[in-house]
Each structure stands twice: as C-alpha cells, then as structure tokens.
C-alpha cells in the first residue's frame, strides 16, 4: 500500500488526466510513478517537461539511461532502477552485462557510460560541488560543458522521480519487476522479461 494516492486513469485529478492517458498510450500501462505524480498536476507536468527537455540534449539515450540508473541506485529507488534498466535494454539497446554493472555501481566496460556514471556519482555526492579532477575526467572522456550541465539536469529529474517514489512508497509495476536487480541474471539480462 502506498503512502500517497496511486491514481488510475479514472481517479486522476482532471488536470492530470490527459497526461495520465498519454502515459498509458506510450507505455501500454500506467507506470506507478505517473499515478503518484498525478496527485500534483504541476509535479507531473514538470516531470514530463524535464524528461522531454533531456531528450533534446547532447547526451545520448544510452548515456541518459546510465545517468538515471546511477542516480536511482544512489537514491535507493527500486522503481526507477527497474524502469531505466528496461529502457536501457529495450530502447537504448545497451549490452545486458553493462546494464547489470551500472545497477551495481561497477565499471561497465563502456568508456562513455562509465564517465557518465562517475560524474553523476560525483555530482550527487558533492551536491554539484564536484572536484576539479572529476570535471576534468568527464571532459577528458570527450564531454562538453553543455553535457556536464545536462548531467545536472538529469540528476534533477532523477531527484524528482526518486524522491516522489520514496515518499509515496510506490510499488514497482509488474511489467518492470523483471528489471529489478534481484531479478536479473549476473550478466544483466532479465531472468523472465515479458
């Protein structure tokens, strides 16, 4: 049971309902995060707007998913770890082994993903006051100042989602449960993905 109302399409506040309907159309189900954020049309609009803005940046989908998995792992948000693992495997087509390592906070063997992971960890750990060597390492991996700020933007998106899920006690949708770390094989592939 959640600590905040987990809305459905039928129970969502009127201002949130079109966004809930769009989420169902896009996903084939209503992610519980959306059902929780529907309590505040402004929170839901902000989440969707920032998510859309990050997609227009220079970080690739794979890099954005590495960022989101990393932030969710650090923030202890199982829902977002599972959701972004599914996206990393299905949409970004990242190697399953690399995704499993990202979930565990280990080097993935993918240089750019590892640079994003390390920089995301530094941004969160220092609340943005990253050491010069962390910024230099990120730049040394081929990333720009713009992309450094896109990591901060991605962390802000993750913070909204991760903290909202933690506040609410959002359960992981059945469609995402195969992507939880405990349900993945050691190589990062879902044991029983649907």
The residues, any chain, with a CB within 8 Å of residue 127's CB and separated by 6 or more, are none
Residue 160 lies in a domain: yes
Average pLDDT of the chain is 96
Residue 11 lies in a domain: no
| 164 or 186, higher pLDDT | 164
Are residues 40 and 66 both part of a single domain? no
Residue 1 lies in a domain: no
Residue range 6-47, pLDDT digits in tens: 999 999 999 999 999 999 999 999 999 999 999 999 999 999
Give the integer Cα–Cα distance in Å for 35 and 57.
Answer: 27
* Secondary structure of residue 71 in the 3-state scheme: helix
Give the integer Cα–Cα distance in Å for 41 and 14.
Answer: 9
Are residues 80 and 49 both part of a single domain? no
Q: What is the pLDDT of residue 188?
A: 62
Closest C-alpha among 117, 66, 75, 67 to residue 94: 66
Looking at the DSSP assignment, which residues form a beta bridge with residue 184? Answer: 190
Q: What is the pLDDT of residue 132?
A: 98
Number of independent structural domains in the chain: 2
Q: Residue 9, CB half-sphere, CA atoms under 13 Å: how many?
A: 9
Using a pLDDT cut of 90, give the percent of the chain over it: 93
- Two structure tokens written together for 164: 């909202």
């Amino acid at each position: 049971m959640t600590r905040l109302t987990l809305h459905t399409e039928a129970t969502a506040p009127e201002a949130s309902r079109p966004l809930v309907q769009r989420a169902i159309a896009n996903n084939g189900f209503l992610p519980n995060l959306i059902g929780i954020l529907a309590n505040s049309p402004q929170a839901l609009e902000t989440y969707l707007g920032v998510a859309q803005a990050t997609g227009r940046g220079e970080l690739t989908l794979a890099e954005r998913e590495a960022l989101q998995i990393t932030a969710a792992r650090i923030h202890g948000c199982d829902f977002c770890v599972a959701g972004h693992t599914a996206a990393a495997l299905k949409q970004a087509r990242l190697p399953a082994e690399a995704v499993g390592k990202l979930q565990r906070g280990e080097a993935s063997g993918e240089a750019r993903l590892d640079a994003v992971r390390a920089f995301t960890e530094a941004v969160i750990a220092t609340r943005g006051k990253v050491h010069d060597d962390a910024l230099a390492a990120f730049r040394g991996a081929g990333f720009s100042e713009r992309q450094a700020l896109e990591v901060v933007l991605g962390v802000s998106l993750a913070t909204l989602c991760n903290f909202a899920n933690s506040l609410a006690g959002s359960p992981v949708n059945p469609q995402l449960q195969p992507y939880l770390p405990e349900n993945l094989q050691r190589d990062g592939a879902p044991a029983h993905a649907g």
